[in-house]
Each structure stands twice: as structure tokens, then as C-alpha cells.
Amino acid sequence: MRKIFNIKDFRLCQRGVCNSNMDGRDIVVVMPTGGGKSLTYQLPAVLTPGVTLVISPLISLISDQIMHLQDAGVEAVKLTGSTPKGEQDSINARLGSMANTSGRGSSNGGKDIKLLYCTPEKIAKSKRFVSLLQKLSDADRLARIVIDEAHCVSQLGHDFRPDYQKLHVLRQLFPNVPIMALSATCPPLVLQDLLKVLRLKATVPGEDADRTGTVYFTAPLYRPNLHYQVLPKASEGTKVYAQMVAWILREHADDSGIVYCLSKKDTEKVAAELATRGKIRTGVYHADRSDREKDKLHRDWHRGDVKVVCATIAFGLGIDKGDVRFVIHHSISKSLDGFYQESGRAGRDGKDSDCVLFYRAQDASTLSSMTMGDKDGGVKLNAMLEFAQNLTECRKIQFANYFSHTTNLSMTSWSTSDASARAPCGHCDNCTRTSEAYVDKDVTLEAWQLLRIIEKAQKTGGNVTLAKVAELARSSGKAIGGTARKGKGKHGGAKEQVTVDLDAVCGGKVNLKKEEIEILPGDRIGMAVVSSE
């Protein structure tokens, strides 16, 4: 462990998981992001004969794992759709040679592949690959199957992947090969669905496991080295970039970090602005980047040639870079589960790190339209908004309440005990904020007025943005609220102005500042009817 992985001691439940792996058990592991899940299968893979198959959802995660393992001298390879044909042929030949050398105790001159990474799509779509795995299994050379981000198998999970559900064939094809499922967030309902899909037996606790069940390990999700804060995001794009540059240069001028963005376009723009305004060495990662560009970015980032990666959520799951000192969210995430996982990329080495969300109400309407078709998308987004707009309660306690409520888990799943889970962290933005920094105000009347304005504008066919609502609500008498197309034809006729008589609709203008008005619709009021800008 020290020689290959440069790790001196086990953390959390790593020792128990490794021992269960060596014992050939089916295992489910729920550990926090950055808790060291990878070691729990990589160490047994090195110590036992045969190849360990690792199924992972993202090319970025696979590439990162392969890079670190190969640098450590471990025989690790990947077979994905992006693997060059010549490399695929070479890997298949090596696996075929292993399959022809029967017995788990056999070796191939020390050149056996120890870890084979692939995506779930490879299992679902490549009959040749599955046939090769069957030959390895028949020769007793398939040591174990590891399914990373296993919550993706369930439609109840926050990141469902259809091809993950097709992994039910694994138990049927390989009845004698141990299966290990890993996740950072796996609520009880998702866990039961996971066991059903993967054809695993009921779980038994790791500390008192019998010989019949699936061994279940979990570790507290709370990480005290992460410091959370939500910062007000400027309404104008140029000011947002200036905000981010100023914060990075002030807090982490020479540190590695990640900036998560909502879209591919945003990643490109944010990276360009950080580089231009702050002379920050940035890189871009999203689905449209070529595999060569992605691999180069991984190398450059790990070497320090690139300091900040601007990326969509396609980047970062399981990224093994310990010295990420900050994670910034340029916009809110679709769910608090996703935000927890993404922000958890910071501080994997245990050192203090910052997790910052730049929030403005307009982003809520954008996310609302994106999650409208998702199962429970609105509920999950509401929880994210409550987190972003809460100015008083400790972020640690907010996470604890969310995970215990939405997952029916005890507080010990978040911290070591109920008492410690309820104790404020003392270092998040809300814990360090003074009571003079905010004002409590009853805005029941103003919220009702805004709902009436939005309702009226929608009935007239207007496409009303948050900015337009704020502008309209603070006007007097009749005011322009948007535009509507009237008439027939390809384009619906000519544009006409939409007006709302504030006196008749809601008793007059709304007595709030523009930024205060924009917060109210973002706080779930009219999210379904306010269009994104």
C-alpha cells in the first residue's frame, strides 16, 4: 500500500472493505466524495491474481484513474469507444492470453492486466467484449467486478444512466464473480433498487457480516475541511467574471481549482475571461472536447501547467487530485446531491479548501426549464434553492437535514453521531456571518403581487423574464411586461406589446428593490411560468 499507492494508513472503513474484497464477497460501499473509495478495490486488485473489471460512467474518471495507476507501475488499461483500434486489439490479445492461462493463481510473467476499466455502454453494446469476459471467468481469471457511481443504476438516483440498468446481466453471466458497488450518495430506496437491478442479496453490516448477504459499508459524509459559502452573483455577465477573478486571485492565486458551469458555452466563456482578466492558466472540459484534448488537460492539470479547469459536470467524478484547493459553482446545480458531489472534488488530501457558489435568482429559472421533465426535478431544485438562499443556518446542518430527510438515514450517515451532526461547523459563511449582515422582512404581500403580475402576463401570451418581471413590478400604472405574437402563420403574426395594469391586477407597484424582486420568483414562486433569459 505504501510502495504503490503512497498511502500509510487506512481511512474510514477502507480496511474492512479491502478484507471483504480479499474474501471474495459481494459488497456495497457508500463513502463520501474524497473518502478513498478507489483504494478499496485497487489494492485488492494488485494483491490478487486475475483482472478486476471496473465499470465507470465517465471517460474523465477512467482516464484519471488509468493515469495514476500507470504512473504507479500498475498494469491498468481502458476499453471505451474512444480507445484507438490498435490499442484495443493489443488489450484484447492480452486478455485472451490471460483467459488461456487457467487458474486464479496463474500469472503471465508479471504482465497480467490487473485493472480493466470500461463504461457501461461497452458492456451493453459489445458482444465481443462480453464474450471475452466470459472466457476470463471460465478460466477463473476474472477476479471481481466493480461498479463505480452505482447509484446510476436506479431511476430514483440523481444521475440515472439507462445503460447502467443493463448491468443486471452481470450476475447472470458471471454467477461466481464477486460484485462491488460504490457510491457517495445512495439513499435506502436507491440502495434497494440497486440490489434488485444487480441481482445482489440483501445487505448485512460490514462489522458483523455473515456468509450469505451482500456486505454493506458506509462512512460519515461530513468533511470538516471543506468550507462552504454562497456569494451574491452580479446580474451582468462582465461583473460576474470580475467577481470570480477577484476572489480567485485574493484567496487562491497559485492554487488548483475547478469552476463548474451550467453549459459548454459557459465553460468556454468563463475560461477565456479568467485567462484574460486574471492571467489565470485555465483549461476547458466538456463533452464536445476531443479525447486527445481531454487527456492533455488531465496531464497539464496534474502537472500544474493548468491551474483552473472550467468544466461541465462531465468532469470531476472521482478525479484523484488531492490538492484542489477550491471548487466554484458558476451557477447552481440541479440538485443538492449533485452540488455535494461536485464540491467534494476539493480538499481530497484533507487540507482546508473552499467550496463557493455564486448565486443569483435568474439562474433558478434557467435550471427550472432544464429540470422540468426530470423525475422529481422540481423537488430537487427546490432543495438546492433553499440551500442557496439560506443566510442563517450552518451549511453543515443544512446538509445533515437534507440527507437525513430525503434518504431516511440517521444523522450518523452524515456525521459520527446525531449530536455532532447538529453542531454548527463554525467556519461556513453562515456561521461566520453577523446578525447585522442581513434583515428579516415579511414579503407575503409582495410575493402575492408578483404572482398576480406573472399570471396576468402569461395569460396575455407574454414571454416574461425575471428581469422583465422586476422592471414591470416597480413601474407605475400600465407598464410593458414583454411581447406576444398574435395572429396566424409560420411566425404567429406580428409582435405586440404586452401590458399589465398594476393598479387593477395587484393594487399598484411592488415596493421592493429590483434585486429583492428577482429573488422572490427564484424562490420557487412562479418558476414554472417565468421563462429563462
Sheet holding 51-55, edge to edge: 76-79, 115-118, 51-55, 142-147, 179-183, 27-30, 214-218, 203-205
**Hey, which residues does 324 pair with through a beta bridge?**
256
Cell representation of residue 235: 446580474
- CA angle, 346 then 145 then 133, to 5°: 130
Please tell me the distance from the alpha carbon of residue 115 to that of residue 76, in angstroms, as a whole number. Answer: 5
Catalytic machinery residues: 37
CB 302 within 8 Å of CB 67:
yes
Count of C-beta atoms within a 10 Å radius of residue 104: 13
- Residue 322 to residues 298, 348, 429, 519, Cα–Cα distance (Å): 14, 5, 24, 36
Cell 405586440: give the residue: 496
Here the cell at position 29 is: 460501499
Please report, as a single letter, which amino acid is at residue 38. Answer: S
CB-based burial label for 357 (10 Å; 0-12, 13-18, 19+): buried
From CA 419, how far away is CA 412, in angstroms rounded? 9
Among the listed residues 233, 185, 229, the one whose alpha carbon sits nearest the alpha carbon of residue 394: 229
Q: Are strands 282-285 and 308-311 parallel, antiparallel or unpaired?
A: parallel
Residues 43/16, Cβ–Cβ less than 8 Å: no
Instruction: Single out the residue of 63, 64, 62, 23 nearest to residue 40, CA to CA.
Output: 23
Residue among 217, 150, 209, 211 at smallest CA distance from 185 = 150
Sign, Cα dihedral of 459, 463, 466, 472: negative
Other residues' Cβ atoms within 10 Å of the Cβ of residue 318: 22
DSSP strand E in 362-514: where? 478-485, 495-501
Cα radius of gyration (the chain): 26
- The helices-and-strands tally (H runs, E runs) of the chain is 23, 16
Q: Which residues of 371-383 are buried (b: 16+ CB within 10 A; e: fewer)?
A: beeeeebbebbbb
- CB atoms closer than 10 angstroms to residue 446: 19
